Chain A
Amino acid sequence: MKSTLFRNARIIDPSQKLDTSADILIDKGIIKKIGKDIEAPNNTQVYDLQGAVVAPGFIDMHVHLREPGYEHKATIASELTAAAAGGFVGVACMPNTNPAIDDGSIVRYIKEQAAKAMNGMIDVYPIAAVTKNREGRQITEMAELSDAGVVGFSDDGNPVENTQIMRIALEYAKMFNKPIIQHAEDKALSHGGVMNEGFVSTTLGLPGIPTIAEAVMIQRDIMLTVYSGGKYHVAHLSTQAGLHLIREAKESGLPVTCEVTPHHFTLTDEEVRSFDTNTKMHPPLRSQEDVDAMKEGLRDGTIDVIATDHAPHSYDEKEVEYLYAPFGIVGLETAIGLSVTELVKPGILTISQMIEKFTVNPRRVMDLPQVIIKEGEKACFTIFKPEEEWTVDIQKFKSKSKNSPFHGRKLTGKPVGVVNNNEVMMN
């Protein structure tokens, strides 16, 4: 690749406490120079960023790529294009594929497909199943899966329900320093539910999923973590009750982390009144109190990571009666906009803190090397304009599926481009 010069970048790198305006020259995928008024060498592609933020490359640690098995919803190639458009240089993909990611061959298949998409510019970090075929009975071959390159274990979509299996999983995964990522849901309590249980579900006559379905499972898992000493990460946290438990666990020094999705810090269950099936997801949209708690958890650091739970479903699958629609929405291409609009603009997070939740913290949770923006390091950036206003148009999504409740929403903060693995993609 020819060299690239970014002019007028606002470099923000939380790990170095850096927030500075400069030009960045990249050659062969390496940062060659950072400074003022760098002269462009011959044969250099020059971009004037006009003050756009250049940050260490963002990772979305909760993505459903759907391949293998559900290519009518999405493919690895389509969703990596969506990731790049949304400002992500890497994604961790969940194992609820068909077959599930429960042995080394599937991990290798996903990595091969990812290497073919976009010249391999987007890093894919497979998360393997905790149990074989995600059935909750027998743990997967975690040693081999770790060697094949998985970054954690999860039965996402399902909780690890059996307490003994969960204990064994935490203990076994501890040998490889990999987190167990729990979809925290007590299925007996959530049984049949399609939305948050509360006033809105009562007035709509839709079966509810109570907040305790999440909190009870987190409470149990924290006790198991105390006992077993493993690493525990809560996927898509949605409740104030769950947040309190995680806060206490962190205060007592446990290796417990968690993530929240942009929709859980943006929307409440009031949205379900439309009966739009793009308001149906697991966990469900909660009450205003829960949304406020998510914001407070992000502010005080209890919530480590923003991850999207990007869950493509085809148009026809969502175009059905509410009770029968599948759970989940796409999120890769609205994550930065929602985070700036809901968190940075109102002063809940600084831009630097938001960047931490998209890159520093997910890399820490998954035990990946940190990205540093300095001369001699690999060029791995997310570039976005925090001030730019735009309107979400699902028809412009690169994702193969368009199932988003945010169509038509005005957002501030737009991804501009990504740089990774000696490739540059500008939107």
Chain B
Amino acid sequence: MSLTSRHLLGLYNVPKEDIGKILDSASSFKEVLDRPIKKVPTLQGKTIVNLFFESSTRTRISFELAQRRLSADIVNFAASTSSLSKGETFKDTARNIEAMKIDMVVVRHQSAGAPQFLSRIVDANVINAGDGRHEHPTQALLDMYTLREKFGTLKGLRVCIVGDILHSRVALSNIYGLKTMGAEVSLCGPATMIPREIDKLGVQVYHRIEDVIPNVDALNVLRIQLERQEGGHFPSIREYHNYFGVTRERLEKAEKPITILHPGPINRDVELSADVADSEHSVILQQVLNGVAVRMAILYLLSQSN
């Protein structure tokens, strides 16, 4: 079993069959995580580099756990401890690492397109762990896995992504993946945080959270990055919470419970009120667990597609 591409650079134009394969094999790997011994020999003898040019805690840990549970040998490379501070280029760094006979590279980078660039200069399989505000495909796949687990199918599911869409790589990957799988996707956020012409991707855009809540099955609530306030994209955290915050009071207006996702880390009582984050309709911790299984599935499938 393998995918149509040897890399996972994003979910744009990734066929439905590939996404289906990843989600299906993630189910098998999730069983592994429930065993007393949570380790399989699938990637024994394979070497994977985690190339993180931007700080990350949960994505890096999730990838690392997935790799260890598949018995891969791993090397972690973080920009702050690397030769980048000595002025080495991205290309030289990548080629030097590859010269050490690497099978796969997981890359996170500030620049959109860095994984595409990397895939042109190295022979290893490249997995995008977040590039600028472009894509974060493994996050979207774990979101989709979590939704499918909860609802049984993604087809016809009504999902709204709430928050700063403009600066979000999670939003774009979710839009691409969910649309491919037949979900109905809408967006909600301040007009200054909705990128131009995004409606051409076939998504509805809302600016009032009250208009969204009665008509969705799930909300994927994005983290508000506090530094965006300095860029003038919104006037204050207070106003954001008062007008776009997902609160119990607002959710109670819906006829049936709405499932809450969040890619983390949460700003409690900013984009999401604390009681909602901890409620029975929040699947935030399932997302974290599923993240390991989904990444195991991706690593396994890409290792098969050489």
Interface status of B127 (Cβ within 8 A of chain A) = no
CA distance A319 to B121 in the complex (A): 10
> How near does chain A come to B55, taking the closest CB pair, in angstroms?
17
List of A residues within 8 angstroms of B12 by Cβ:
203
Chain B min CB distance to A206 (Å):
5
Residue of A nearest to B131 (CB): A205
Interface size range of chain A in the complex: 20 to 34
Closest Cβ–Cβ distance, residue A98 to chain B (whole Å): 20
Query: Which residues of B sit under 8 angstroms from A206, Cβ to Cβ?
Result: 112-113, 132-134
Known: A199-B198, A201-B195, A320-B91. 13 other contacts (CB 8 A): A199-B196, A199-B200, A205-B131, A205-B134, A205-B135, A205-B169, A205-B172, A206-B112, A206-B113, A206-B132, A316-B89, A320-B90, A322-B114
Using a CB-CB cutoff of 8 Å, which residues 195-209 of chain A contact chain B? 197-199, 201-208
- Of the candidates B111, B114, B134, the one having the most CB atoms from chain A within 10 angstroms of its own CB is B111
Partner of A275, one of B117, B133, B197, B201: B117
Interfacial residues, chain B to chain A (CB-CB below 8 A): 12, 89-91, 109-114, 116-117, 131-135, 169, 172, 195-198, 200-201
Q: Which of B91, B113, B135 has the most chain A CB atoms inside 10 A of its CB?
A: B113
Q: Are A319 and B196 in contact (CB under 8 A)?
A: no
Q: Is A321 an interface residue (CB 8 A)?
A: yes
Flag whether A47 is at the interface (Cβ < 8 A): no
With contacts A199-B196, A202-B195, A206-B113 taken as known, whether A320 is within 8 angstroms of B89 at the C-beta atoms is yes
- Residues of B close to A227: CB separation below 8 A: none
A287's closest neighbor in chain B, by CB?
B197
Query: CB of A390 within 8 A of chain B?
Result: no
Which residues 298-343 in A have Cβ within 8 Å of B in the complex?
316, 319-324
Q: Cβ of A274: which chain B residues have Cβ within 8 Å of it?
A: 116
Whole-angstrom distance between the alpha carbons of A321 and B201 in the complex? 26
Q: Which of B90, B91, B195 has the most CB of A within 10 A?
A: B195
Q: Nearest chain B CB to A327's CB is how many angstroms away?
A: 15
A321 adjacent to B117 (CB under 8 Å): yes
- Complex contacts, B112 vs chain A, CB 8 Å: 204-206, 275, 322-323
**Hey, which chain B residues are within 8 Å of A204, CB to CB?**
112-113, 134
Q: Is the CB of B196 within 8 A of A203?
A: no
Write 21 A-B pairs (CB below 8 A) sorted by A numbering: A199-B198, A199-B200, A201-B195, A201-B196, A202-B196, A202-B201, A203-B12, A203-B201, A205-B132, A205-B134, A205-B135, A205-B169, A206-B112, A206-B132, A274-B116, A320-B89, A321-B117, A322-B112, A323-B110, A323-B112, A323-B113
- Give me the 6 closest cross-chain CB pairs, A-B, nearest first: A205-B134, A275-B113, A323-B111, A321-B111, A199-B197, A205-B133
Interface set, chain A 167-208, CB cutoff 8 A to B: 197-199, 201-208
CB of A321 within 8 A of CB of B109, answer yes
Q: Is the CB of B172 within 8 A of A198?
A: no
